Chain A
Amino acid sequence: MVSEMKIKAVTWLVIPALVILLALVLYPTVYLWGMIFYSYHPARDPYPFFVGLKNFGILAGDSEASYTILAMLALVGITIPTQLVLGSLLAILFTARNTCGKLGLKVLLLIPMMIPAVIIGLNWKMIFFSKGPLNGLLSSLGIPPQPWLSEPFGNPYVVLFSLAVLDIWQWTPFITIAVMSGIESAPKEVYEAASLDGASEIRTLWHIVLPMIKGIIVIVLLLRIIDSMKIFDIIYTLTYGGPGIITTTFPFQIYKTGFTLTSAHPDIGYASLLALILLAISSCIAMIIMRLFHIEKLIWE
């Protein structure tokens, strides 16, 4: 009797959460799936209309979309490994016994993460300006100024590296903090035992501590990959996807397609299809990482 009442109470308590979940997650997701079969030009159509598989046909011939997927993956490919290596090295440096001024360094490290991406984009735009401080520094060193946001070193595609620099600058501290917390949470006995066995600090880190915090690193890696694939605000303020579409990544292309008219196929229905593709790519990458590193096992460990 009591257990039945408990079940009833729990059911009633769950209902509000369920309603919110349905309204905020399930309905938009179902709507998104439905929209891929519709066409809706944001400025010209009074309402969405059914087009069947037409959006898939557009996608098949959309070279812009293919390029922007590649640009997104290239950016992830550059930023994530760099952030991981750099962030881990910094974490090791900050947790080393002989490092002075650790607190000050940690505070400094946090600053980029605390600045809104829009402000970062606008500030770096000034830094990258042809008469800006970066080119000023280069000139004082006798190096010719570079058009950092269009053709650095004579190659327009190198501009993706300028974007990557910003992402690395902003998000490396996140990896550092996560790895640092892992290193610091390792039991002191482990260090003492390793020390008694005559292991150097580097060997202790490499062979004992890093395997112990592998779980943290993998989760951080996963979070950063998903986040890096969504990069938008810095592109919006720094290059607006230009020159041409060189710095247009896939999420920015989805935005342009669905919410502006400056795309070859401005259509909310087509943008929904692109959004689902982004979801599929993110899910695939996440699954590969989870399988590769046996993430469930790592978490339980």
Chain B
Amino acid sequence: MYGGGIVAVAVVAAAGYGIYEATKPPAPVKVGVVAIAHAAPGMKAVAETFMKEHPEITLEMLLFDWETGRDRQIHDFATKAGEFDVYMWDCIYTGAFAPHCYPVDDLKTQYPEAETFKEYDDFIPTIDRQYAQWEGKRIGYVTCANVMAMFYRKDLLEDPTVKANYKTWVGNHLDELKTLATKFGLDPGKVPTDLNVLKTLEDLLVIGRFFTKTYNPDSPTEIGNTIMCMKTHTIHWEYCWLFAPWRHSPEGMEKCGKIVLPYGDMFTEDGLPAFDPEISDAGIKVLELFKELSTYEPAPMETEWSECMELLGRGHAFMWAGSWASTFIDFIEKAKEEYPEVAGKIGVAPSPGMCVDGTWQVGVSRYSKHPKEAWLYLQDLMTKDSQKVSWETASSFPSRKSVIEELAPKYPGVFKETFLVSLLNPSIRDFVPEDPELEDSIAKWCTDYFAGTIDAKTAITNLTAEWKKILGK
């Protein structure tokens, strides 16, 4: 009797469990999203809204610095494990990431019902074509149109006493400064005799020097310009930044030919290193200039992003000429909370010389287990509202023309006159598949020279040979 009762209870329980399992709402799909560096808070803010609208999808935001995130994604390429559903990459890694991203056209074919975004004409065409597409196929979207910019102490630059001191200092050292400019392949006739917003590499050399205590004991700041020379990534872009004005000059164009993509400014029209000493001594002089500029900061070879932020933000440095638009939020928008020492005192302008491209892209991993859901999020990240949220949360500069137009009146002198101008006339680094190896190589030879173990000519000669070898040329 009891046995029958137990069986009945068990049957009812099993049936109940079966009904529960059959009718319960499905567990949300978990999508792993790589979110790098300064763009990450904006992506996270968009993700929170997205998850409210799509309760069936959980976005797991994995916030990394670039080096860690890059390495983790490369592990995923090698293992094809699909650890992440959304990849994120710096523009120069486009060639390296492209084979591992789902072509958007394939997603459109496989999941037509998931296509929500169609405003491709609204993207800034140059960056969209270069970094979100590879060999004619769309592999993702530019989520942050980051661009190089100079952040500087506006209060000091506009101070009449400092201006007068500058004039006197330059007057006293004019011959020496002209000789210095000539030594680095710059125009001695462009040595600035008045203190104004920096525009050229001559300005950077001379004004940076004036604000460095070791060169000018009366300088109001200790460091003239803070610069990053520690890692592969930063050295690569900084060399390109200093090399670009020569490469774009009539002499550079005559000796190296047109600038072709995906090779960019550091290559000749034939895809060979443009800094090759056999072409000209410009590459050597640029490296020497790089080292000279690094003396304006006490420990350039151990300075990264966060150290540069601190040096300018705590009032030690006059400028960070090779900074990025994404620091706008820290130095200007939220300076009162982040850096009270310099709140209201920082100005922003295009970097002297030329500004380097630094956009960030997102794409769906080829190894993703949930490509449809990942794609849905990426499309949501590209809407006008999301781009505004990304700007407001993380100063991720929009990649859509209409958003730039809409936000520009709120930021006079900044949005269009600084960031957009730089974005439309950039210095372009290579974005070939071999770029990571090229980065490592340039860092190695540059730091050997900075450390004094080899001279500039040896460094550039070896660099040229190694780049040719890496590219198989």
Contact = CB atoms under 8 A, between A and B. Distances in A.
Interface stretch (A180-188, A241-249, A289-297): A241-249
Main secondary structure of the interface of A (DSSP, over half): loop
Interface residues of B, number: 44
Interface residues of A, number: 32
Contacts of A244: 443-444, 446-448, 451
A128 B301 CA distance: 12
B316 interface: yes
Contact of B447 (A40, A147, A148, A242): A242
Interface stretch (A6-14, A200-208, A220-228, A259-267): A259-267
A260 B470 CA distance: 15
A102 interface: no
Contacts of B194: none
A116 to B, nearest CB: 15
Contacts of B341: none
B430 interface: no
A261 B443 contact: no
Interface string A31-46: 0000000001011100
Given A42-B77, A42-B78, A261-B436, A243 B303 contact: no
Contact of A43 (B96, B447, B451, B452): B96
Interface stretch (A83-91, A149-157, A170-178): A149-157
Nearest to A147: B299
Interface in B271-313: 297-303, 307, 310-311
Given A131-B314, A244-B448, A246-B447, A149 B440 contact: no
B229 interface: yes
Nearest to B222: A131
A156 B67 CA distance: 23
A145 interface: yes
B134 to A, nearest CB: 13
Nearest to A145: B298
A130 B311 CA distance: 9
Nearest to B79: A42
B231 A240 contact: yes
A129 interface: yes
A130 B299 contact: yes
Contact of B440 (A246, A264, A268): A264
Given A242-B301, A246-B451, A264 B74 contact: no
Nearest to A268: B78
5 contacts: A42-B75, A43-B78, A129-B299, A150-B300, A245-B444
